[in-house]
Structure 1
Amino acid sequence: METRRVGTSGLAVSRLGLGTMTWGRDTAAQEARALLESFCEAGGTLLDTAAAYGAGDAERLIGRLVAEVSRREDMVIATKAGFVIRNGKRIVDTSRRALLRDLAGSLRRLNTDYIDLWQIHAWGDAPLEESLAAMDHAVAQGMVRYAGISNFVGWQTAQAATWQRAFPGRTPVVSAQVEYSLLARRAEVEVLPAVEAFGLGFFPWSPLGRGVLTGQYRRGTPRGSRGSSDHFAWFVEPYLQTRSRAVVEAVAKAADGLDLTPLEVALLWVRDAPLVTAPLLGARTAGQLKACLDTEAKSLPTEIATALDDVSGGPMVARTG
């Protein structure tokens, strides 16, 4: 698999990343191992997780499986801090205390001495300078190699990057991670301009529109899909509305004309979009992941990518210049 630099930093990652949000809950240990084996065999290096995923179980699985399947030094482990689910409630705490507590737990669960890319999971109520100072401390202590942010809007991304550049010695923000797909192009309004202006890497999550762009929901909600589960139905439902159907049908039509699958068309559109470093794949089975990995030698004709731009929200400024 090809590799890409994370913005203007020295960090390099595979151009597809493996997301682990379902590990330890919907994806059992045996299936997670199969996913990791397939990913590594294809040349994948970027593993994305978070302290909050599965209440820490995703990180525990990674800590065990990386040692069995690959070599720690060959993997780029990215995790996040500052977000937990407690008693069914989502709590964002980006204070220095909470962030460093999450980091200590991540290091223990991942069975590693360092995190390659440590990200603030979401914008919180704590002063931004306090949160970023925790990142500085983690890097200075050797616990973290690079720092990034996740789910920040455009002005928040710019503020974080600017603050870290204001004085020599602060740890630069090297990456941003938000949702981005043919069904979610809001990042193009402010986040991607900030990514470009500050030379950041960009990791889109849910590049397949929460699974909807694969076409599996065109005739209803399949059994066993995320949309049919009690804890993920809310996640998929927003993209099952009428306004999304035209985009899904356009992707299916493009796939038919190119002898590709809708999954391949949707993923290639994101993977090769301007400023994208690596889409994060939320595959839950080895079969789903293989379908994504099979895109390595494929690409979309420019005219098709541009047509999908038009259907899904209008011309992409970064593509057209």
Structure 2
Amino acid sequence: MQIRRLGNSGLRVSRMALGTMDWARDTDADEAASQLVAFVDAGGTLVDTADVYGEGETEELLGSLLGDLVPREDIVLATKAVANRGTGPFGGGASRGSLLGALDGSLRRLGVDHIDLWQLHAWDPNVPLEETLSAMEYALRSGKVRYIGVANYTGWQLATAGCAPVPIVSTQHEYSLAERGIEREVIPAAEYHGIGLLPWAPLGRGVLTGKYRTGTPADSRGADPEYAGYVDRHRTERVARIVEAISTAADGLGTSPLAVALAWVRDRPGVVAPVVGARDTAQLTGSLAAEDLTLPAAIRAALDDVSEPGSGYPERWPHS
């Protein structure tokens, strides 16, 4: 697997990241181990998790696999904080007390002495950014964290954080042929500040694989009451047209719609590594197969055209 620099930092990561959101929920320990080995064997290095996944059990499961199964030094370990909310004096979120407590909790569950990429899962409007960043700076100076990232920031939020003295090297956002909204302001802000993009849901929450073209498979997220709303976000007429274009391209290239959709987002400007999750190793293997695919310019242009996001003032100013 090819390696890319993460933003303007010296950190190098595989151009595909392994997501673990389903671990300890839909993916048990044996399957998680199989996925991790398959990912590393394919040359993958960046593994992404969060303290809220599985209410902490996902971090524990990942931590149990590091060392004996996969050498810790072969993994760029990424996790997130902020999304946990609770009662008590610190109340969760992005306060200094909450963040530093969350960091200690993640280190304990993962069983490591440092995290390679520690990310703010969301903007917290109730805490001054200076306080949040002071906690991140302390984490860096203490050696408990090597690099800092953010996730799900708006354009102005990312631009503001990017001006801070604490170096931010990455940002995670939903980005795919089905969801290109971040091209308006988030990606320009990231490029200006030298921040690398790690897209989540690069397969349009599964819709871009074509599995929902004729219905809802019984074993899919779309059939799961807990996830149906998440998937339905992209089950629209517009996305259906995009899926048909992807499928036509896949037929012509002799590959899968999954590979086409993933290759498209992987090679977009500013993208470092799409975060790919899978319920099982077979699904992951399908995603890893996209590593060998480079889309021809004509196909890429056709997919760009069919999925073009709307924009206007002030992104396009002055008007032509």
Alignment TM-score, normalising by the size of structure 2 = 0.93
Mapped to 2, the partners of 1:209 and 1:199 lie a distance apart of: 26
Give how far 1:84 is off. Answer: 2.1
Give how far 1:243 is off. Answer: 2.2
1:254 aligns with 2:220: no
Q: CA RMSD in A?
A: 1.7
Mapped to 1, the partners of 2:221 and 2:197 lie a distance apart of: 25
1:216 aligns with 2:217: no
3-state SS of 1:117 partner: strand
- Corresponding residue number in structure 2 for 1:6: 6
Question: What is the letter of the counterpart of residue 212 of structure 2?
Answer: Y
Q: What are the within-5 Å matches in structure 2 for residues 77-226 of structure 1?
A: 77-84=77-84, 93-124=93-124, 125-164=126-165, 171-226=166-221
3-state SS of 1:219 partner: coil
3-state SS of 1:163 partner: coil
- Corresponding residue number in structure 1 for 2:52: 52
Give how far 1:315 is off. Answer: 10
Give how far 1:195 is off. Answer: 1.1
Matched-pair contact (CA < 8 Å) for 1:92–1:122: no
Question: What is the letter of the counterpart of residue 17 of structure 2?
Answer: G
Mapped to 1, the partners of 2:202 and 2:243 lie a distance apart of: 13
Give how far 1:42 is off. Answer: 0.4
3-state SS of 2:68 partner: helix
Give how far 1:210 is off. Answer: 0.3
Mapped to 1, the partners of 2:303 and 2:71 lie a distance apart of: 39
Mapped to 1, the partners of 2:257 and 2:121 lie a distance apart of: 30
Question: What is the letter of the counterpart of residue 208 of structure 1?
Answer: L
1:242 aligns with 2:243: no
Give how far 1:314 is off. Answer: 5.5
Runs of 4+ in 1 over 6 A off after TM superposition: none
Mapped to 2, the partners of 1:104 and 1:161 lie a distance apart of: 25
- Corresponding residue number in structure 1 for 2:284: 289
Mapped to 1, the partners of 2:108 and 2:196 lie a distance apart of: 27
Further displaced range: 225-234 or 286-295: 225-234
Question: What is the letter of the counterpart of residue 153 of structure 2?
Answer: F
Mapped to 2, the partners of 1:68 and 1:191 lie a distance apart of: 39
What whole-Å deviation, never above 9, does each CA across 1:251-288 have from its counterpart, x for those lacking one? 11111111111000000001111110000001111001
Q: Structure 1 residues 86, 235: CA separation in 2 closer, same or farther (over 3 Å shift)?
A: farther
Mapped to 2, the partners of 1:315 and 1:303 lie a distance apart of: 22
What whole-Å deviation, never above 9, does each CA across 1:26-79 have from its counterpart, x for those lacking one? 111111011001001001000000000010111001101122321111100010
Q: Structure 1 residues 105, 92: CA separation in 2 closer, same or farther (over 3 Å shift)?
A: closer
- Corresponding residue number in structure 2 for 1:63: 63
Where in structure 2 are there 5+ consecutive unaligned residues? none
- Corresponding residue number in structure 2 for 1:24: 24
Give how far 1:86 is off. Answer: 6.3
Alignment TM-score, normalising by the size of structure 1 = 0.93
Mapped to 1, the partners of 2:85 and 2:101 lie a distance apart of: 15
Mapped to 1, the partners of 2:50 and 2:32 lie a distance apart of: 15
Between the two proteins, the alignment pairs up a number of residues equal to: 308
Mapped to 2, the partners of 1:72 and 1:152 lie a distance apart of: 30
